[in-house]
Amino acid sequence: MRVCLINPPRIQPKVWGKPSVYQPMDLAYVAAVLEKQHKVQVIDVPNEGWDNLEEIDGAKYRQGLKNEEIIARIKSFAPDAVVITVPFSGWSSAAFDVAATVKKVDKDIAIALIGLHPSARPAECLKQPSVDFVVIGEPEETVLELAGVLEQGKKSELKKVKGIGFVENGETIITASRPFIQDLDSLPFPARHLLPMKQFFEAAKKIPISGNLRKPSVRMLTSRGCPYGCIFCSNRIVMGRQWRARSAENVVAEIEHIIATYDIRQIDFLDDNIAFDRKRLETICDLIVEKDLNIEWCTPNGVRADSLDSELLAKMRKAGCVSILIAPESGVQRVVDQIIKKRQDLRKVEEVIIAARKLGIKVGCFFIIGMIGETKDDIKATIKYAYKLRKLGADRFYFSYATPLYGTELYKQAKQGGFLKSTFSDEVLSEVKPLIETPEFTCDDLLMLSAEANLVNTTFTRSKLAKAIRDPKRAIKILFERKKS
């Protein structure tokens, strides 16, 4: 069977600046599993057309190959099935547009969606006339089994495929859940050879991810799942709550492979909990040193501060760790414990920042403002706390609005409590706008507080900061200018 995997064009607000490029690891893993039994092609639309930016309504950028180019690729490969990734609900319209484009080439091509959005909104995705299937949860084994059933033409067997949704005789069918993959070492390494790696390296030099990837770099995932209870997190919708990990030996074997194949010198570990098993991370670090792999690495998705200490950080630094991101989320312990339900001691955050900076590891911090139950005073206390962390040695601060992503507890709270802004939709999820209002704050309040918060990254004095945020329009302008820079 011929299967084409597509990463849709990237569409984002112009105020974010030019879209960064990234390697679609979900497609790379699915491709690696599929290619053992099928003919596979990957169309990485944003990376292959990274320098093609089109303006949409004067407010958004569309990055990637044009639809005519996608059509030409589809006609040339002539797939029997197409799999499209939708890792974020705010990008769903781009995926639906690609699905419609593919159907124009051949209406008999079976189209399946994978990723967060179809996992959280399967029935809604199946209302799209060009979508035949959705994959719910981890995609590798499900896509492989689905491809096998389609190849054999046994539509009667579809209901036996766990973890999918489809429409039959006008009825939406959601099959039984598929168990999560327990032995992650059983998965082949991602099929990076099917991705446009040379174009990615070229693009990363011009528009580096997070502004810091200037060496040949790749993304890696060494574990899946998160057992913690943060109410805003959507990752467990796809990967589940049970933490599962690749062995240290398997991880280092992949590092050796990508160094030999692509001369990689920097790695972004995308794990949500890379330090959950301390002994495993120590072994990974020891093997990197023992094999003299000479790499730098970062943890852009964040590491729980309470999983780190000076001893482990020292091992990480020796093994090439140059930067970590940790997530206090708030500067108010009550908000962290009772509202966000992260239950992380903020004193541990401070200890880790001090220890990391002594070792020469850069530290960035994630914060979220506008949670249901939070007050404006809480948010101001969080901003004050960020200044404290800057004095302790943290050098980057990322403030995000509480975003009610489908399938999360936050979304349920917002919807049931009537706190969702009336304009809430898939489309606005990709915009730089607050989407929750409560009796404690309005969206305008959050815009002003966000502008003040993002000034933590500048050299503004407190007096200048106070003057800058008196005018909401000025505050918003400062925020957007900061994001552009």
HEC string of the chain equals: CEEEEEECCEEEEHHHCCCCCCCCHHHHHHHHHHCCCCEEEEEEHHHHCCCCEEEECCCEEEECCCHHHHHHHHHHHCCCEEEEECCCHHHHHHHHHHHHHHHHHCCCCEEEEECHHHHHCHHHHCCCCCCCEEECCCCHHHHHHHHHHHHHCCHHHHHHCCCEEEEECCEEEECCCCCCCCCHHHCCCCCHHHCCHHHHHHHHHHCCHHHCCCCCEEEECCEECCCCCCCCCCHHHHHCCCCEECCHHHHHHHHHHHHHHHCCCEEEECCCCCCCCHHHHHHHHHHHHHCCCCCEEEECCCCCHHHCCHHHHHHHHHCCEEEEEEEEECCCHHHHHHHCCCCCCHHHHHHHHHHHHHCCCEEEEEEEECCCCCCHHHHHHHHHHHHHHHHHCCCEEEEEECCCCCCCHHHHHHHHHCCECCCCCCHHHHCCCCCECECCECHHHHHHHHHHHHHHHCCCCHHHHHHHCCCHHHHHHHHHHHHHC
Per-residue pLDDT at 431: 74
What share of the chain has pLDDT > 70, as a percent?
A: 93
Residue 41 pLDDT more than 60? yes
Q: Which residue has the higher pLDDT, 468 or 35?
A: 35
The chain-wide mean pLDDT, for the chain, equals 91
CA distance 268 to 204: 13
Per-residue pLDDT at 89: 86
Residue 414 pLDDT more than 60? yes
Residue 54 contacts residue 14 (beta carbons within 8 Å): no
Residues carrying CATH 3.20.20.70, the chain: 208-441
Per-residue pLDDT at 484: 45
Q: Which residue has the higher pLDDT, 94 or 422?
A: 94
Residue 410 contacts residue 372 (beta carbons within 8 Å): yes
Residues 99-108: pLDDT tens digits?
999 999 999 9
Residues 435-471: pLDDT tens digits?
999 999 999 999 999 999 999 998 644 455 455 545 5
Residue 210 pLDDT more than 70? no
Residues 117-130: pLDDT tens digits?
999 999 999 999 99
Per-residue pLDDT at 220: 96
Write phi, then psi, for 134 (nearest 5 degrees). Answer: -125, 145
Residues 243-286: pLDDT tens digits?
999 999 999 999 999 999 999 999 999 999 999 999 999 999 99
In this structure, of 70-74, 290-294, 404-408, 455-459, the range with the lowest mean pLDDT score is 455-459
Instruction: Return the CATH fold of 2-167.
Output: Rossmann fold (3.40.50)
Per-residue pLDDT at 471: 53
Residues carrying CATH 3.40.50.2300, the chain: 2-167
In this structure, of 90-94, 174-178, 191-195, 447-451, the range with the lowest mean pLDDT score is 90-94
Per-residue pLDDT at 200: 87
Residues 286-323: pLDDT tens digits?
999 999 999 999 999 999 999 999 999 999 999 999 99
Look at strands 10-13 and 60-63 and give their pairing: antiparallel
In this structure, of 75-84, 205-214, 228-237, the range with the lowest mean pLDDT score is 205-214
Per-residue pLDDT at 270: 94
**Beta carbons within 10 angstroms of residue 213's beta carbon:** 24
**Could you tell me the pLDDT band of residue 97, with boundaries at 50, 70 and 90?**
very high
Residue 2 pLDDT more than 90? yes
Residue 480 pLDDT more than 80? no
Per-residue pLDDT at 428: 75
What share of the chain has pLDDT > 90, as a percent?
A: 80
Per-residue pLDDT at 144: 98
Per-residue pLDDT at 26: 96
Which tokens belong to 144? 């492989």
Residue 68 pLDDT more than 90? yes
Say if residue 211 is exposed, middle or buried (CB neighbours under 10 Å; 0-12, 13-18, 19+): exposed
Residues 316-360: pLDDT tens digits?
999 999 999 999 999 999 999 999 999 999 999 999 999 999 999
Residue 84 pLDDT more than 80? yes
Residues 147-162: pLDDT tens digits?
999 999 988 999 999 9
Per-residue pLDDT at 472: 47
Per-residue pLDDT at 324: 96
Instruction: Return the CATH number of 208-441, one of 1.10.150.20, 3.20.20.70, 3.50.50.60, 2.40.50.140.
Output: 3.20.20.70
